[in-house]
Amino acid sequence: MSGNPDFDTYRLSEDHEAIREAVRAVAEDKVKPYAAAVDEESRYPQEAHDALVASDFFAPHVPEEYGGVGADALATCIVIEEVARVCASSSLIPAVNKLGSMPLLLAASDDVKQRYLPPLAAGESTFSYGLSEREAGSDTAAMKCKAVRDGDDWVLSGQKSWITNAGVSEYYTVLAVTDPDGPRGNNVTAFVVERSDEGFSFGEKERKLGIKGSPTRELHFDRCRIPGDRVVGEVGAGLKIALATLDHTRVTIGAQAVGIAQGALDEALAYVKERKQFGKNIAEFQGVQFMLADMAMQLEAARQLVYVAAAKSERGDADLPFFGAAAKAYASDVAMQVTTDAVQLLGGAGYTRDFPLERMMRDAKITQIYEGTNQVQRIVMARQLLKG
């Protein structure tokens, strides 16, 4: 029976296992030693950045034709998961590189792809994504940032909020209203903006609960002129491209959540085997064992859902919107639960910065919020169910 291909689909390929082993080695050696300092100092994880570039895990999703390694969606999720296991802030580097460049992969002309994907693959720049605004978060179609045509160029005015790795990235995919009187949802266009563009600037860094190593800032556009050849896809198709992008990249947030939860479970397991109370290791108490069993069970369920969603992303299956939303919502809820329980298992020690669990708990929270709140994910899932 073991050679039956139907059963092989429920086992990662040797290539995927080899990628996990390689990323784990990089993460343990080059990312984990700096994770606490990155959080404490709220600084960009440059050590992780450099290590990911050196090992080709920086933007592994970029196809080979653009100088990338062409990792499939599942392999990319494994990269993000393994980095998040030791440092959630660092895992946002490959995750946001995919988010920022996915609109190009889905819709851009070959000229735009040839211009921006090779530098990303080479590690010359991260790639950020500008969709949300102060008053247009879950309601993306309510955005006010606009682009007005001027000859062959476009002139951008407005702002974007909550932009991951803003100020670090050279490139930004930015969504702006190009037809204010047009039908809602069909009046937005995607553009590539470069950090050096005149009239483009950044707000102050947000002071956040978690993922402190990943800078989050506003983008400000003050009559920022963009050449016409930087439009991504069709004029007016921007929101459709943005939502299709999220169908794919929500899966990567699920992978990040799985990684954070795995890191927390690992730490908790190590602690309960060593910690003694009432004359024995606390791992011997049934109450503790039940907590560990629930944590591991939920984590494995989340992992399997993320991997199935990643396979659907790779194939472009019609039911990806449901599975992407389900993977992101379930895995992030599990990450919050598992990290909270892990802090509990360490007791007072879990509440201190001497152990990484309080950081993991803080980092886990954002996975329930960004790339669509878990409430929005449930709306997406329900719509898919009702459509049949």
Residues assigned a catalytic role: 371
DSSP string, 145-200: -EEEEETTEEEEEEEEEEEETTTT-SEEEEEEES-TTSPTTSSEEEEEEETTSTTE
CA atoms within 13 A on the CB side of 138: 10
Strand partners, 39: none
- Hey, how many other C-beta atoms are within 10 angstroms of the C-beta on 337? 18
Nearest to 176 by CA among 127, 232, 120, 244: 232
Question: Which pair of structure tokens corresponds to residue 209?
Answer: 């609960």
Answer for the pair 16, 68: CB distance below 8 angstroms, yes or no.
no
Cα three-residue angle 266-268-269, rounded to 5 degrees: 65
**Which two three-digit tokens encode residue 217?**
């800032």
Q: CA-to-CA distance for 277 and 109, rounded, in angstroms? A: 64
Alpha-carbon distances, residue 112 vs 13, 191, 260 (angstroms): 33, 10, 35
Looking at the chain, list the stretches that DSSP marks H as alpha helix, in order from N- to C-terminal side.
5-8, 14-26, 32-41, 46-54, 73-84, 88-107, 110-121, 238-274, 286-315, 320-346, 357-366, 374-387
Amino acid at 153: D
Determine the Cα–Cα distance for residues 325 and 148; give it in Å rounded to an integer: 33
CB 250 within 8 A of CB 324: yes
- Residue that the structure tokens 């483009």 belong to: 200
